Amino acid sequence: MCYFLTIGAEAPAWRLAALLMDRLEIDLEAALEPASIRAAFPHEDDVRRVTHRGCSCDLVVRPAPREFPRSSVSLTGPCRRAIARAVADFGALRLLVRANQDASVPARPLAMALDEFRLADRELPTDRIIEVAREPR
């Protein structure tokens, strides 16, 4: 089983994808998500599934096989830094880590300040949209 990372931001598609690809230093695909996933994000967001070789496992710290699926995961350091930089540039973005590409998405996002997101050991819930913003709400 694989993880899938989705990122949405109120930004032109090319800008969000280019920023992430530049910061992560690996070849990424930033495909448009299907309408069922995009519907869970604000309508003005460009919503992209960020993958490397078909999934997002290289961007997520994977749990031991016996622990899969988990209700929370950590992002790799480079991925966390790339997202933090995007938040600094755009002001806010939303991310979603799914343990199953067919998982349903709760409508209400979890808000998180950028300073809290930057914590290296911070685990993020799976299958829930997390809104990371420069300024806490």
The better pLDDT of the pair 95, 58 is held by: 95
3-state secondary structure of 9: strand
Average pLDDT (72-82) is 86
Q: How confident is the model at residue 113 (pLDDT cuts 50, 70, 90)?
A: very high
Beta bridge partners of 129: none
* pLDDT tens column, 27-44: 667 777 888 888 889 989
The pair phi, psi for residue 102, each rounded to 5°, is -100, 10
CB 11 within 8 A of CB 107: no
The model's pTM: 0.84
Q: What is the mean pLDDT of the chain?
A: 81
